[in-house]
Structure 1
């Protein structure tokens, strides 16, 4: 149980940092005089952690879980201190990039480690617990961030990571001493890792800029995806010739792995996009205040871990995961479609549909992961686990960017002043933070 506690604590830290700063962004931007770059405080972490997730998985297969996870925790810890000490917005964004470079290993390596220390039949149950912790932390991040910023300072959003990361580091180092340390350093594909990181970063930064309302026709914006796609093309060429590639392309041809990665990508495309856009719908269409709009996501937040726990239990008992993933993948888009037709002022009906959506998403989290782990040889469990985590994070990043771009385009087409809406939302974020922290107190 000691090792499970340490791994869950590492996952908790990585998941919280994806969303914990969202509510206090206006306060950070005001204090550091950086409203123009405010969105990059979130995007810098998401892009860096998404890019490095598969690389960490491969490194953990080669060098051992204990050393790679320890490195990720230490980097995350030091970067958290740098975030807390930042005096300008560029300093904070740079520190968030470093924090993301550490955070990318917290989820993928921790989940791969669980596959090493837990019997095959019990993987589903424990991965259900992990998926539930990750989902709750991701959705609860803004409330926790608002509470810390209201009663202490926004810097405590980062200071609080230090004791927790130290505890996770000590626990992991002690509990994983029996795991093999690896030792195939000479087979690391450094060129492949560099090309993958550069290529995916270019594409994700481009999508992030689109989500912030920048025109895709700008030369500096358009150059990003072109350079990124070129690097990804070179990456594929490099992986085909590398002795030990970062991402074995043959693994993606395994039907179970490919289907699970696509399903998890679509799952988080839906989840993260809904968590961002549903509060806007409740505010703009239903006239709800920011705090009320955020509280209306509680049914979705609570249903996800229940679905994940249930899926883990059912997999442990039956040994089957395909029906769970199919059910979740079918019901989730139907629930989202239902939300489009339900009056957002119908609080209880919206809550019921969000519960169904949360349960459907929860069913897919552990089932997709365990199915992928069981479909590959033991020596590839780390990279396979990282691919599922990467699919989740990429789906969330793409979902927010694409749907936010569509929203901005629709607003402009309808003649609404986007700048006025952004200012209203900034004010709403401040009210939301104050209301949530008062409620928490």
Structure 2
């Protein structure tokens, strides 16, 4: 057994984390800043029918790249690959700002997404290599402080830039932040626990990466386009679903035979790793799928502006941050963690169920209280599931494990947004169709500003339809979150490592079948 490497001092860790915090801000701020600028971008570049691809292209590229960046970090070193992902993200940002038409913007957003896929994985992998699992919770909790800043500040900054400068600066603003992050990471980051393979042992699983890209793309497009661009029973959606299933089966075969698989299947023989990944997927589905549509209720039913609906998310974001910090400190002090995801999953169910009870009479204060419940669930789950996954593998597989766990959560979020979005749209359309009266508004193309110009009777009809739609998605979200509660009980509380020994790993008894 190799000896444990010398640990970094708290001062060294905090100094290095300053670069990670900036990179985290880049990763989380980007979409928040871009969203308010999209109407202006379409007006300038044209191509309204391609608007969704500005977002879809970014998400697809980021999702596909996530596990690949994790594996590259294990092969070539996490500092180098992390800096490479920042560089690609900045190149994509600069190109996006220079786009002359919508097709160029979509392509450059995909390049930006490729870099973004490595940002979050790189951050969590680097923290995993700097700090032992026992101490890691309190440092990962610090990263949660970026969430409120991005969620609240992003739309405000994006709107200000669009109104007062140019939409191109929503991309250019990434450049000074990214360059600063690169300099800080290069100058301060040391990874004592990192183990890379010798040049003669390097073997990149190009076939696995290619097959992975195909089935993920097919799956994301199936759930994104199903029920919106094409009917669920159309040949396009059925064809994509077949490609996704066949591609996934082929991926499993390829990974079993690869010398250095992108996602080593043996990782899933560890019970805690499997449970943490599954928990991340379910949490991503329920949480992101549900929260994405909360502004619909706030804007259409409660009459809030887009900016205010972002500000009104503060109770959720702040409670998530506080609980994450407190949970990290508790884990560091006690070394115990099983109760945290159990409580988090329970609060996730409660929060989503409370959201499903909202109607036209629900006050902003009530909505804020419901957000606190959901925020507590988020704070308990977001970092703890990642910590459990990292504690379940040797240091040499840190990037792969982090990339796989992040990939599972992102896939859950993508599928959750798509499927719950389809439920919302169908419920909204069905509710409006049931009224059957003259002057009933159409769900297609309706904006909060346009709704306020309609007669009060028509507004009431549309608001009730939105209530019906949000009731359905939050109720389904609560049902899915209940699966997370069951999964959380399956976690085995294996002692957290207190060193960064390269080959150290959780106890073998944690494996499936023991």
**The two structures share one fold, judged by TM-score above 0.5:** yes
- Please tell me whether the aligned partners of residues 156 and 307 of structure 2 are also in contact (alpha carbons under 8 angstroms): no
Structure 2 partner of 1:435: none
Cα gap change, 1:79/1:181 in structure 2, threshold over 3 Å: closer, same or farther? farther
Cα gap change, 1:166/1:291 in structure 2, threshold over 3 Å: closer, same or farther? closer
- Please tell me whether the aligned partners of residues 148 and 314 of structure 2 are also in contact (alpha carbons under 8 angstroms): no
1:216 is displaced (CA, Å) by 2.5
Between stretches 415-424 and 142-151, larger displacement belongs to 415-424
Instruction: Specify every segment of 5 or more residues in structure 2 that has no aligned partner in the other structure, as ranges.
Output: 1-13, 434-438, 452-514
1:217 is displaced (CA, Å) by 3.1
- d(CA) in 2 for partners of 1:426, 1:202: 33
1:234 is displaced (CA, Å) by 0.7
Between stretches 370-379 and 416-425, larger displacement belongs to 416-425
SS at 1:23 equivalent: helix
Structure 2 partner of 1:297: 313
TM (norm. structure 1) is: 0.91
SS at 1:273 equivalent: helix
1:390 is displaced (CA, Å) by 1.3
Structure 1 partner of 2:178: 165
Which of 423, 446, 467 is residue 424 of structure 1 equivalent to?
A: 446
- d(CA) in 1 for partners of 2:353, 2:311: 21
| Aligned counterparts, 1:7-86, within 5 A | 7-86=20-99
- Please tell me whether the aligned partners of residues 37 and 158 of structure 2 are also in contact (alpha carbons under 8 angstroms): yes
Structure 1 partner of 2:196: 182
Cα gap change, 1:302/1:274 in structure 2, threshold over 3 Å: closer, same or farther? farther
1:298 is displaced (CA, Å) by 2.2
Q: In the TM superposition, what whole-angstrom CA distance separates every residue of 1:368-394 from its partner, at most 9, and x where no partner exists?
A: 111111111111111111122212221
1:8 is displaced (CA, Å) by 1.7
- Please tell me whether the aligned partners of residues 267 and 392 of structure 1 are also in contact (alpha carbons under 8 angstroms): yes
Structure 2 partner of 1:3: 16
Structure 1 partner of 2:396: 379
Alignment pair present for 1:361 and 2:378: yes
| Aligned counterparts, 1:200-239, within 5 A | 200-210=216-226, 212-239=228-255
Instruction: Specify every segment of 5 or more residues in structure 1 that has no aligned partner in the other structure, as ranges.
Output: 430-441
Between stretches 299-308 and 46-55, larger displacement belongs to 299-308
Cα gap change, 1:231/1:96 in structure 2, threshold over 3 Å: closer, same or farther? same
- Please tell me whether the aligned partners of residues 288 and 413 of structure 2 are also in contact (alpha carbons under 8 angstroms): yes
Q: In the TM superposition, what whole-angstrom CA distance separates every residue of 1:155-208 from its partner, at most 9, and x where no partner exists?
A: 111001111111111221222356557345632211111111111011112222
SS at 2:353 equivalent: helix
- d(CA) in 2 for partners of 1:419, 1:402: 24
- Please tell me whether the aligned partners of residues 287 and 348 of structure 2 are also in contact (alpha carbons under 8 angstroms): no
Between stretches 146-155 and 413-422, larger displacement belongs to 413-422
- d(CA) in 2 for partners of 1:93, 1:132: 30
- Please tell me whether the aligned partners of residues 155 and 307 of structure 2 are also in contact (alpha carbons under 8 angstroms): no
Structure 2 partner of 1:433: none
- d(CA) in 1 for partners of 2:440, 2:418: 16
- d(CA) in 1 for partners of 2:388, 2:148: 19
SS at 1:424 equivalent: coil
- Please tell me whether the aligned partners of residues 16 and 188 of structure 2 are also in contact (alpha carbons under 8 angstroms): yes
1:80 is displaced (CA, Å) by 0.3
Structure 2 partner of 1:322: 338
Bigger radius of gyration: 2
Between stretches 367-376 and 412-421, larger displacement belongs to 412-421
- d(CA) in 2 for partners of 1:28, 1:113: 36
- d(CA) in 2 for partners of 1:153, 1:422: 29
- d(CA) in 2 for partners of 1:282, 1:38: 24
Structure 2 partner of 1:257: 273
- Please tell me whether the aligned partners of residues 65 and 181 of structure 1 are also in contact (alpha carbons under 8 angstroms): no
- d(CA) in 2 for partners of 1:291, 1:67: 38
TM (norm. structure 2) is: 0.78
- Please tell me whether the aligned partners of residues 18 and 138 of structure 1 are also in contact (alpha carbons under 8 angstroms): no
SS at 2:232 equivalent: coil
Structure 2 partner of 1:406: 423
- d(CA) in 1 for partners of 2:19, 2:97: 24
- Please tell me whether the aligned partners of residues 137 and 327 of structure 2 are also in contact (alpha carbons under 8 angstroms): yes
- d(CA) in 1 for partners of 2:52, 2:319: 29
Between stretches 419-428 and 367-376, larger displacement belongs to 419-428
- d(CA) in 1 for partners of 2:325, 2:183: 27
SS at 1:19 equivalent: helix
- d(CA) in 1 for partners of 2:450, 2:74: 45
1:95 is displaced (CA, Å) by 0.5
- Please tell me whether the aligned partners of residues 429 and 443 of structure 2 are also in contact (alpha carbons under 8 angstroms): no
1:284 is displaced (CA, Å) by 3.1
- d(CA) in 2 for partners of 1:27, 1:212: 24
SS at 1:39 equivalent: helix
Q: In the TM superposition, what whole-angstrom CA distance separates every residue of 1:9-37 from its partner, at most 9, and x where no partner exists?
A: 11221122233322222111111112111
> Greater helix percent: which structure?
1
Q: How many residues align?
A: 429
1:233 is displaced (CA, Å) by 1.1
Structure 2 partner of 1:126: 139
- Please tell me whether the aligned partners of residues 212 and 247 of structure 2 are also in contact (alpha carbons under 8 angstroms): yes
Structure 2 partner of 1:309: 325
- d(CA) in 2 for partners of 1:201, 1:139: 30
Cα gap change, 1:428/1:390 in structure 2, threshold over 3 Å: closer, same or farther? farther
